Amino acid sequence: MKINFKLLVLFLALAGGLTGCKNSNDYKNTSRATGWKINDGEGGFEYNTNFKEQETAPGLVFIEGGTFTMGKVQDDIMHDWNNTPTQQHIQSFYMDETEVTNLMYLEYLDWLKKVFPPGTPMYENIYSGALPDTMVWRNRLGNNEVMTNNYLRHPAYAEYPVVGINWVQAVQFSEWRTDRVNELQLEKEGFITEGTKNKVIAGEVGGTFSTGTYLMNPRAAYGGNVDSLQGRRKKEEDSTNVYAKLTSGVILPGYRLPTEAEWEYAAIAIVGNREYNNVRGRKKYPWDGEYTRSSKKSAKGDQLANFKQGRGDYGGIAGWSDDGADITTAVKSYPPNDFGLYDMAGNVAEWVADVYRPIVDDEANDFNYYRGNVYTKTAINDDGTVEVLNPDEVVYDTLPNGKIIARNLPGSVVTTPITEEDAYLRPNFSTSDNRNYRDGDSSSSRYFDRFYDGDEATTESNTHKMYNSPQHKIERDSAGNMIREYDRSNRRTTMIGDDVRVYKGGSWRDRAYWLDPAQRRFMAQYMATDYIGFRCAMSRVGSKIKKKRKRPRG
């Protein structure tokens, strides 16, 4: 009997490959700690051992982390001493390809209006608290009513960046976006029934989805109706692992505002000037070169950003050399930088997460620098369960300018500041609120006696705070009328406080000086303008790089 030697070798190779795959999977699903099976289908430890890497969420681009010099400006004509160069390292993260547009924000408003109807007394301030301030376009000596009436909602401005948004509203949009994206993720992966998100909008569920609630107390999600919404993953005979967990690898990290260091690193994009582990040349703007016009043959002379070119000159003489915009313009109107990000200079300036201080303290930290940490913990009920707001509960805040916003939406997890007990003997933090840590005032000094209980040291006039900005008050009388108390104290020496935030990048109202990514300004977090917008970021979990690098041949 003849044996085909080639076929035999092929058969043995295939058999070996299949055996190898099986052994590989068995090895991956066997604990190296105990030898027990993982994901054996009969209870026990469940874990996503097939997880590859974090997927890129809607609207984002990947920003590979690295080191750069933060605060390095080409010009400092203001001489305000807030751009001291510091070497920083940034972890890899994701950032919105463009600024958040009117269309994106209108989707948020539409969802709020349908899920929490303003006609319901309990919900009346949710929708109004999220509305942009369209009156920012008004000028006492300007004819701008067309923008006041049309800019937010008219389709002609759909892809223009949203403005009139204060910092608090930008943060809340980011939180809402996190929940909507993760809700879709759960539908795709079969943890909840397809179309659940639409049932919520139609009022057929009785509650909403919150990422925090789903992870901390999944049975409280959707107003306690999550079990009736289980998707194809549920097995009738075995209800274990019905809910997605962090170990499932399905839930994405939250959308948020980028930190100042992240924003500046992403904007300058020195990766485009990188040669091995050195930087070739120096960037003044997000693009290469020292000028605001393109030097490429195909686009020679074209403006690379939308900004104010001089007094009374917001775009140039009509025609070819014009920058194409007088106010804001549609996103992606100009070329992206080397990270693939659009409008990191011009169009609108952008809110970032940081509380403003003139000095960036690199001696305290040179890794993922950020000022603004307020550490909280999940509130726990008396029975040991996580505290979640009921569908008929809303927590409101009144901002110093009188605007009422929803601090916690129905169905969200309740959090509280950490206590001294939580921070006891910790070497890395000691209090919940770290916004004014090492900011130069007396309470940041190593010799400050915060435990002194004498009247002389506890009065406001004797604490010698460096950043004693005005403290305006909002109260309501017994009839519910709002009383605004403007702080007219003559002891105030600065506008800087714990509620002022950094904004970065030049805008359509700014000269080219502010297009430098290292320039920084600040504004109270409850205020809005016609030239500040925002874009979201998301942390990267796992590896620093997305693709295995190939060494250059040389």
**Tens-digit pLDDT string for the chain (554 aa):** 555 666 665 565 555 555 545 556 677 889 989 999 998 877 788 888 888 899 999 999 999 999 999 998 877 777 777 888 899 999 999 999 999 999 999 999 999 999 999 999 999 999 999 999 999 999 999 999 999 999 999 999 999 999 999 999 999 999 999 999 999 999 999 999 999 999 999 999 989 999 999 999 999 999 999 988 988 887 654 555 589 999 999 999 999 999 999 999 999 998 877 767 777 767 888 988 778 887 777 777 778 889 998 898 888 888 766 788 899 999 999 999 999 999 999 999 999 999 999 888 777 788 999 999 999 999 998 888 899 998 888 989 888 888 899 988 899 999 999 998 998 888 888 889 988 888 876 666 555 555 444 444 444 444 456 787 888 888 877 777 778 888 888 878 788 888 999 999 999 999 999 999 999 999 999 999 999 999 999 999 999 988 776 666 65
Q: Please list the alpha-helical segments (H only) found in 354-483.
A: 455-458
* pTM: predicted TM-score of the whole model, two decimal places: 0.89
CATH of the domain at 316: 3.90.1580.10
- Assess if residue 204 is contained within a domain: no
Residue 344 Cα distances to 98, 100, 351, angstroms: 8, 12, 12
Cβ-contact 118, 130 below 8 angstroms: no
- Separation CA 267–CA 292 (nearest Å): 15
Instruction: Specify the pLDDT at position 461.
Output: 43
Give the gyration radius of the chain's Cα atoms: 27
Strands 404-408 and 537-539: unpaired
* Contact residues for 37 (Cβ-Cβ < 8 A; gap 6+): 29, 30, 31, 44
- Domain extent, residue 261, equals 57-183+251-370+500-545
- Assess if residue 67 is contained within a domain: yes
Residue 110, both tokens: 């539409």
Cβ-contact 339, 269 below 8 angstroms: yes
Instruction: Specify the pLDDT at position 11.
Output: 62
* Contact residues for 194 (Cβ-Cβ < 8 A; gap 6+): 187, 231
- Assess if residue 471 is contained within a domain: no
- Assess if residue 538 is contained within a domain: yes
If one counts the domains in the chain, the total is 1
- Assess if residue 461 is contained within a domain: no
Instruction: Specify the pLDDT at position 449.
Output: 54
- Assess if residue 506 is contained within a domain: yes
